């Protein structure tokens, strides 16, 4: 391994260690009470090292949020439009979403608390929501063009309502009720999606 490659690998490991440590600290103490010194102590690095990789605590939080959200869509294999039946696509996306939420329930509890404590967090969440909502909107448009979803449905409105419902149900199921059966929860959620979009389950 070249010196440059070794440095890159070491840098990647340090950044990863800071992210993992940051997540543990945030989940224990919440965003508002967590300090950068808490994170660096957890990661066994200096405070100065933290600033090589992140501008501040909020940037680390943002990167964690993106990584946790991407667990859902990162597992979906891209397909050509129409290659997968929309019912199956919705069911699989919901299952992956709920499974990822269950794995990361402690982090989402931290996110919920942070949104009440810091005025800029809702803006960050809204930004990420717009990104993922646009994916749902594009999928609904494809299904409309294929004649699978009624043209009377507003894709933007549907994406907003269905996304909001999914997020809230996931939060209630896995941070309050501790619901365990992801497959059953996914079926319940999918049924609501299909009813709204006028799709028939196979």
Q: In this predicted model, what pLDDT tens digit does every residue of 30-47 receive, in sequence order?
A: 988 999 999 999 999 999
Question: What's the pLDDT band for 132 if we cut at 50, 70, 90?
Answer: confident
Judge if 100 and 137 occupy the same domain.
yes
Buried b (16+ CB within 10 A) or exposed e, 149-162: beeeeebeebbbeb
Whether residue 117 has pLDDT greater than 90: no
Question: What's the pLDDT band for 25 if we cut at 50, 70, 90?
Answer: very high
Question: What's the pLDDT band for 2 if we cut at 50, 70, 90?
Answer: low
pLDDT for position 124: 77
- Which residues, 6+ apart, have CB-to-CB distance to 152 below 8 Å? none
Q: In this predicted model, what pLDDT tens digit does every residue of 81-112 receive, in sequence order?
A: 555 689 999 999 999 999 988 999 899 888 88
Could you list the residue range(s) of the whole structural domain that residue 1 is in?
1-54
The CATH number of the domain holding residue 164 is 1.10.357.10
Of the residues 12, 36, 54, the one at which a domain ends:
54
Query: Among all chains, which residue has been given the structure tokens 């749902």?
Result: 136
Q: Tell me the pLDDT of the chain averaged across its residues.
A: 87
What string of DSSP letters covers 77-119? PP--TTSS-HHHHHHHHHHHHHHHHHHTHHHHHHHHHHHHH-T
Distance (Å, whole) CA 161 – CA 167: 10
pLDDT for position 74: 62
Q: What is the pTM of this model?
A: 0.80
Judge if 24 and 102 occupy the same domain.
no
Judge if 64 and 49 occupy the same domain.
no
Stretch 159-174: mean pLDDT, rounded?
92
Lowest mean pLDDT across 7-11, 64-68, 161-165: 7-11
């Amino acid at each position: 391994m070249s010196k440059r490659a070794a440095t890159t690998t070491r840098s990647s490991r340090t950044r990863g260690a800071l992210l993992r440590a940051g997540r543990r600290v945030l989940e224990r103490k919440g965003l508002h009470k967590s300090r950068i010194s808490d994170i660096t102590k957890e990661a066994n690095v200096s405070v100065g090292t933290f600033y090589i990789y992140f501008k501040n605590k909020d940037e680390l939080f943002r990167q964690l949020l993106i990584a946790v959200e991407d667990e859902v869509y990162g597992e979906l294999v891209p397909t050509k439009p129409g290659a997968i039946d929309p019912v199956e696509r919705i069911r699989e996306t919901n299952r992956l979403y709920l499974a990822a939420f269950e794995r990361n329930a402690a982090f989402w509890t931290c996110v919920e608390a942070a949104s009440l404590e810091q005025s800029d967090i809702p803006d960050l969440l809204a930004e990420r929501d717009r990104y993922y909502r646009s994916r749902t909107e594009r999928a609904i448009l494809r299904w409309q063009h294929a004649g699978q979803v009624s043209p009377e449905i507003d894709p933007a409105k549907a994406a907003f309502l269905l996304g909001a419902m999914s997020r809230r149900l996931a939060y209630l199921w896995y941070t309050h009720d501790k619901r365990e059966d992801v497959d059953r929860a996914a079926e319940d959620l999918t049924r609501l999606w299909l009813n709204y979009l006028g799709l028939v389950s196979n």
